[in-house]
Amino acid sequence: MLEIKNLHVEIDGKKILNGLNLTVKAGEVAAIMGPNGSGKSTLSYVIAGKEDYTVTEGEILLDGVNVLEMEPHERAHAGLFLAFQYPLEIPGVATMTFLKAALNAQAKSRGEDELSPGEFMKRVREAAGQLGINPDMLKRPLNVGFSGGEKKRMEILQMSLLAPKMAILDETDSGLDIDALRIVAEGVNAHRDPNHAFLVITHYQRLLDHIRPDTVHVMAKGQIVRTGGPEIALELEERGYAEYLGNAA
């Protein structure tokens, strides 16, 4: 599904990613753990196409196609989704309006008709209900005045409506209390199937108690330095990142 080869990335002349390699297979839930400053967020932004970063070397392939040549919205159309660590506020635009614009844009890219208003409402209500989102919130401008937890739920709502084949969750657990964490995790788990893949970026083990990853990668100094099963997460929880900070190139 997602294949990253020898990725080198700079921002303002400063090197952040140093020849990173990573593969996520269809149906897989992969986790990336790493200390602050290891380049986790940079990786998620570069995959989604944020413009501040310069890729100096390497490729990012989605189903064999290099996405580095695509605009952010084309990557979204290709099935990439990023749940933001800090979701943006869009004043004056009702959440419902935003959801509709996003769904319609993606339907259009696939050459499909827009959803009928009835069908759209039905899907949104259903998905919102599962995430414990009050329908009144959908009338409010997107993320304006929402709490940290509400914003994160809204990201998961968008994810479940857009049903991307490759979803990246960037520290979705930060700022969540334990109940919200569980609901968000359920939102992800509900979409696990052989056609969808997830890349869960996190600093802590606790999210992985609820979303059981198939694979855990440890990232440090702009590289994946270790890959293994869920047991790595527990080990990190106990021993911290110190050894990786010393060892990495």
Partner 1 sequence: MPAVKETVETVRQIDVDQYKYGFVTDIESELAPKGLNEDIVRYISAKKNEPAWLLEWRLEAFRRWLTMQEPTWARVHYPQIDFQDLHYYAAPKKTPGPKSLDEVDPELLRTYEKLGIPLREREILAGVEPQNRVAVDAVFDSVSVVTTFKEELAKAGVIFCAISEAVHTHPELVKQYLGTVVPTTDNFYATLNSAVFSDGSFVYIPPGVKCPMELSTYFRINEQKTGQFERTLIIADKGSYVSYLEGCTAPKRDEAQLHAAVVELIALDDAEIKYSTVQNWYPGDKDGKGGIYNFVTKRGDCRGARSKISWTQVETGSAITWKYPSCILRGEGSSGEFYSIAISNGMQQVDSGTKMIHLGKNTTSKILAKGIAAGRSDNTYRGQVTAHRKATGARNFTNCDSLLIGQQCGAHTIPYIESKNASAVFEHEATTSKIAEDQLFYCMQRGLDEEEAVALIVNGFVKEVLQQLPMEFAVEAQKLIAVSLEGSVG
Binders in 13-52 for partner 1, by CB under 8 A: 48-52
State yes or no: residue 244 binds partner 1 (CB under 8 A): no
State yes or no: residue 105 binds partner 1 (CB under 8 A): yes
Cα separation, 242 vs 247, in Å, equals: 9
Residue labelled with tokens 């290891």: 38
State yes or no: residue 88 binds partner 1 (CB under 8 A): yes
Give Cα 206 distance to the centre of its chain: 17
Closest approach, Cβ 52 to partner 1, in A, equals 8
Strand (E) positions, the chain?
2-11, 14-24, 29-33, 54-62, 65-66, 80-83, 166-170, 197-202, 215-220, 223-228
State yes or no: residue 187 binds partner 1 (CB under 8 A): no
Smaller CB distance to partner 1: residue 11 or 245?
A: 11
Work out which of 2, 43, 82, 211 binds partner 1, going by CB under 8 A: 82
Closest approach, Cβ 228 to partner 1, in A, equals 30
State yes or no: residue 102 binds partner 1 (CB under 8 A): yes
State yes or no: residue 204 binds partner 1 (CB under 8 A): no
Closest approach, Cβ 36 to partner 1, in A, equals 20
Rg (CA), the chain: 18
Half-sphere exposure for 12 (CA within 13 Å, toward CB): 0
Stretch of 26-34, 55-63, 84-92, 235-243 lying at the interface with partner 1 (CB under 8 A): 84-92
What value, to the nearest 5°, has the Cα angle with vertex 171 and ends 11 and 245? 60
Q: Bridge partners of 8? A: 18, 57
Residue labelled with tokens 């303002």: 12
Q: Say which DSSP state 113 is in.
A: P
Work out which of 19, 27, 35, 141 binds partner 1, going by CB under 8 A: 141
Smaller CB distance to partner 1: residue 85 or 205?
A: 85
> Which spans of this chain sit near partner 1 (rule: CB under 8 A)?
48-52, 71-73, 75-77, 81-82, 84, 87-93, 97-98, 101-102, 105-106, 109, 141, 158, 162
